[in-house]
Amino acid sequence: MSWFDNVRNWHKAIQEHKDYPIHVIHYEDMQQNGIEEIRKLAKFLEKPYNEKLLKDIQDKCQFESMQKGKFYHKSHWKENTTGTGIYREGKVGGWKKVFTVAQNEKFDKLFQEKIADLNLDIKFSI
């Protein structure tokens, strides 16, 4: 299953099951205003919180914390990586620098063909 199929399937499930609540968090939104996104999640989960807890969660979710924390593991999914495992740089749109021009063009074309009609709020830069 491709990333596009996965996104389309999740979108369909959310649309078809309005009675089954699903909360979506976008990495880009976390980068722009992590505290607010964590607050929305706490409200969605109906969990009590205070500003210190929100800040602590935000700190643990920072790229640098996750990269060197217990979530880090060496991955063999890509040859010639320098010990970053599944983490690269934690920058929004960083994948565009990894792709060649041809790969970027192919992705843009596939995006238009496969999921542009869903009108999703997908941000490739902030």
Domain boundaries, the chain: 1-17+92-125, 33-73+82-89
pLDDT at 75: 53
58, pLDDT greater than 70:
yes
CB 86 within 8 A of CB 76: no
Structure tokens at 116: 């542009």
CB 52 within 8 A of CB 31: no
Q: Summarize the confidence of residues 69-95 as an average pLDDT.
A: 60
Counting every residue written for the chain, the total comes to 126
Interhelix angle 3-16/101-114, rounded to 10 degrees, is 30
pLDDT: is 42 or 99 the higher one? 42
72, pLDDT greater than 70:
no
Whole-model pTM over 0.95:
no
pLDDT at 41: 97
